[in-house]
Structure 1
Amino acid sequence: MNADGSLSISVDRSNLNYLLMQPYSFYACYHLPTDSLRICLVDSVLRQYEHGGQVWTEQRSVTISFKEEMTLDRLCQVAELAQSGARSLRDRRIVQISANPNDLPRTILESVPEVHVPTDPRQAAMLLQQLYDTNADDVISASFDRFAAALGVDHDFMGIAYMSEINLGMAGRSQLPKRIEDAIAFFQLRLSAGGHMPGSLHYTIGNAYSAIADDEKAKIGELLTSTAELLEVGVPLIETALALELEAGVCACAAPAQRGLEA
């Protein structure tokens, strides 16, 4: 055992190469003196050597550092990531095999890039943010399940993945209306919990309703967005109410609204 509490084991480089053939492979180590079971993702080993500037491909062996305790939750996360990736590759094969030979090149070129989502939640969140900032909504949508496995379905950063699906829905490109409905529930939960900007949440929820063609609720979302935004900048409640009435066409003329403001 090392001074920092980690365990180190040397393995043949060929063994690492073999495990790299399968996404989300890992090493497991049981330490008898401490009765502890450790896990080390193959991705972590590769990242350590590549980012450390070591030419590991010319070595006969590599060192595996076990720092993380193996838990059931961790195993479930890795399994879900592996299964999601396998499903994605299966679906890609089906699309290509089923395509007309003349359409195959176009099918391949138009396919969404495959994304290897890191198991580390911080790295997964960073990747998700970077993809969203580059308007890669289709890529995020295709990798949604893997981000959910890496982060957890209730993680705040999953809001980014939901917003990508809403964006696709607004553009008429989403094939997953149920996911957009889940997005509405996700953002409504955060609205009721507080701690977020109500105006932004109402805006996003309104867009989600528009994406699934629920125009009535989308309109309500617009009005609630306006209310929240006005309150956020300190506009008095009576002015907010009158502004919304005018926007909705409730007030017949400007005079009553002026009287209301005087009151």
Structure 2
Amino acid sequence: TAGGVALIRSAKERGVRVTAEVTPHHLTLTDAWVLGALGPRPAKTSKPKGRRGSSPELSLPAWLDPTMLPPYASSTRVRPPLRTERDVEALIIALNDGTIDAIATGHSPQSRVEKECEYGIATPGISGLETALGLVLTLVHRGEMDLVNTVARLTEGPAQVLGRSPATLRPGSCADIVIFDPDRAWTVDASRFVSRGKNTPLHGQQLKGQIMLTMVGGDVAFRRGDFGRNGRSGPQTSKLSGILSTDD
């Protein structure tokens, strides 16, 4: 909540050793998702907002639409609960200014038995691992967050909280690498999740930004299709080009 952010900010200003994390769904979804079809439809606008709202190279993805869900869908039940727009805005500001140290997926897969029941007795949790990047990148495309800072909060932030050295691309470093396409649009299909937990309120929603390859310790742990196996014809450009430098 905005109140929680204020407490953390105050503690850090007083020198208290405290860390904070936030999940992608708490950064992007509000209590309107609980209302689902009973709530107002999201405004259709082409004007980016936020810190980089004047950047012409940033195109907006399709707006997420909570009215696609039935009212009180158990997939929206999470702990802490989804909050108001004001709370979400406070979380984004806190992530940008360093009050919040890391983005954590909050991955909480649940079985159908635990979710296909009345809202009040459904087990809280969202299966968030496979939608985390695309969901957070909606904030980058909308101009509310910087790409470099976002990637750092997803990678360096958790490592530093755990007291581990962040991964690098320097020769001799452990090859823990994620390659993603920030402009790749895709539709969430919970039935295709690798996780056994299919519990997500994002089924049928369009996201922009998808992981193409993951390496852990130099071994390929995940590859999307034939990515990296076949040569590409000609250079590929991104609408986000220029935001990252070769030194990042």
TM-score with structure 1 length normalisation? Answer: 0.25
* Larger Rg belongs to: 1
Quick one: higher RCO (CA 8 Å, sep 6+), 1 or 2? 2
TM-score with structure 2 length normalisation? Answer: 0.27
